A and B are shown apart, each in its own frame.
Chain A
Amino acid sequence: MNVIVCVKQIPDPATPGALDPGTKTLKRDGKLILDESDSYGVEMALQLVDAAGGGEVSIVSMAPNGEVSGMRTALAMGAAKGVLVSDPALQGSDALTTAKVLAAAVGKLGGADLVIAATESSDGYTGTVPEQMAEVLGLPSVTFAKKVVVDGGSLKVDRQTEDGYDEVTCPLPALISVTAGVVEPRYPSFKGIMAAKSKPIDTVTAGDLGVSPTGWAGAGQEIVDVAQAEARAAGEIIEDDGEGYTKIVAFLENLKVI
């Protein structure tokens, strides 16, 4: 069984992010790392291939400046090879263009039995790329997968809902988006990180993949404005004079939560 995982490389969430005032998009000029959201997809792919008794995990990513640090982490975990799409012409691409580009990268790898993405990325989190990719690739897609089992030519998915989960079956090949915490991602080992250095990453441009138009020209969306989120109002402090609880009850009743 062959699985392709989308891995987004994002600015380290531990360091404060910044928006480019001109383009109103996130600055991505520093070192990028593997989005933790995608580490679950990588782990799940490795486990599925393992359970299938053969096959390989490949990764696709779109990122500026030929960035591969985050891809190397996925390769160190055990993925075999990757395609990176990096191209100044992609700057300003919206989610749909990203989906078209990633779908073409999947095609470049010759497709797979299963494509995995995260439900949403940690930096952009529009949560729309996977479904758009599925549409472009003409694949069935299941979102919010929290458990995945391959059974012959089909996929059994427990799909997270607000109050439990649905059991969904779909034919392969397919595209799924997985939620955080579905599996425990392994840590790359010393041997893993050393082996990853020589695993192949094919770096291509949008032109190589035949995707156009891209960037600002291709975007169907426009970022009109970026505004500061409203600061949370200071809470109300209730001094407890022995009767404080009545005020709290009244407050909660007013909110209609009790």
Chain B
Amino acid sequence: MSDRRADLELIRDTVATLCARFDDDYWAHCDAEHRFPWDFYREMAAGGWIGIAIPEVYGGGGRGILEAAAVLEEVAASGACMNGASALHMSIFGMQPVILHGTDEMKQRYLPGVAAGEIHVAFGVTEPDAGTDTTRITTRAVRDGDVYRITGRKVWTSKALEADRILLLTRTTPLDQCTKPTQGMSLFLVDRHAPGVGVTPIPKLGRNAVASCETTYDDVVVPVADRVGDEGEGFRYLLDGLNAERVLIAAEALGIGRAALRRAVHYANERVVFGRPIGQNQGIAFPLAEAHARLRAAALMVREAAERIDAGLPCGEEANLAKYLAAEAGFFAADRAVQTHGGFGYATEYHVERYFRESRLPRLAPISQELVLSYVAEHVLRLPRSY
């Protein structure tokens, strides 16, 4: 076994052992009470897992996306699912634009705190009127001497309630004054407690331990020192992190699928109807075997994509396919877990309904399955651009 694979196994084992302390009931409570999993978060921070992909000079573990994906998969697979993964997700990978394009001073100011889990970060890209067409965002940042003044509105900013900083994508040049739509956008690390920032949680289907919020910015003053990299280059910086995010969300989807399959298999062995365990019926067993096959296949694509990212190789195809396949595999497994449980699958007691609700998410965000297929059609198969 290569050193890296041996390390990965060790990382998985250690994270799984830690997560085992936070059982399904813990997560069910966090979800039902819309409570952020603080004690879980603190254990993960103390173990150095949140900073795993942040460079060692800034207090992190100095590892890559392959290791970060393993951590998040094990978190999700413990039964924590997206509630656990999303609590960490942004801190684990979201600082990529800062690591790659921030000034040294900015890195010193933020990265050690993020790695230690002390500075919480959120990500504000999606806007109500732009949707997936990110270049149409209208949140505007206007330079005023040493500061920028930011006005606009975002939706779905996850973890905005707990966040100290929001990595915010804004327009510094209006779309109609740009030669290319991808120009004229800039990234800022906005102080979430600055005057003018408003945060309102959006009621939603699941993953309720971590709120996703509407965030509003009303003439918010942001120092130039909190601009990430150069003005106008924000979209390009963002793209640097997108493939990594797809791989991480894919790993989380795999984790949900594993958790669901584990419960389904257990139940299929225990539950006796018509005088035999229901798992003896091929109608129950085969879909579970299929779920396993789909998860294993998707896991290979996740690993391939992560290794390419870490090696600095082109990975758009692999990262998109990983997210697509893992999201479908995770959802299929969660759906079959509910079906295997029969009516009890609908009861909160067996937890598979929670897995099921959360397995819906990777098919929608951070990018919908349709837009992934759109990418593959256009950039891999060379079909005409559809939009």
Contact = CB atoms under 8 A, between A and B. Distances in A.
B14 A187 contact: yes
Contacts of B49: 190
Nearest to B21: A187
Contacts of A72: 10
B18 A190 contact: no
A189 interface: yes
B91 to A, nearest CB: 14
A74 to B, nearest CB: 13
Interface string B47-82: 111001000000001000000000000000000000
B47 A189 contact: yes
A11 to B, nearest CB: 15
Select the residue from A76, A188, A191 with max chain B CB neighbours within 10 A. Answer: A188
Contact of B18 (A187, A191, A197): A187
A190 B17 contact: no
Interface size class of B (residues with CB under 8 A): 10 to 19
Select the residue from B7, B14, B49, B61 with max chain A CB neighbours within 10 A. Answer: B14
B46 interface: yes
Main secondary structure of the interface of B (DSSP, over half): helix
A52 interface: no
Contacts of B48: 189-191
A190 B46 contact: no
A248 interface: no
Interface residues of A, number: 10
Contacts of A194: 7
Contacts of B7: 194
Contacts of B18: 187
A139 interface: no
B242 interface: no
A189 B46 contact: yes
Contacts of B10: 72, 193, 197
Interface string A193-209: 11001000000000000
Nearest to A194: B7
B11 A190 contact: yes
Contacts of A191: 48, 61
Interface string B21-65: 000000000000000000000010011110010000000010000
A219 B168 CA distance: 70
A20 to B, nearest CB: 25
A239 B46 CA distance: 53
Interface in B151-182: none
A189 B11 CA distance: 9
Nearest to B50: A190
Interface string A150-193: 00000000000000000000000000000000000001111101
Contacts of B17: 187
A194 B11 CA distance: 9
A193 B11 contact: yes
A191 B46 CA distance: 11
Contacts of A190: 11, 14, 47-49, 52, 61
Interface string A124-136: 0000000000000
B304 to A, nearest CB: 24
10 closest pairs, A vs B, by CB?
A: A190-B48, A189-B47, A187-B18, A189-B48, A190-B61, A193-B10, A188-B14, A191-B48, A193-B14, A187-B47
Given A187-B14, A197-B10, 10 more contacts: A72-B10, A187-B47, A188-B47, A189-B46, A189-B48, A190-B11, A190-B47, A190-B49, A191-B48, A193-B10
Interface of B: 7, 10-11, 14, 17-18, 43, 46-49, 52, 61
9 contacts: A72-B10, A187-B14, A187-B43, A187-B47, A190-B47, A190-B48, A190-B52, A190-B61, A193-B10
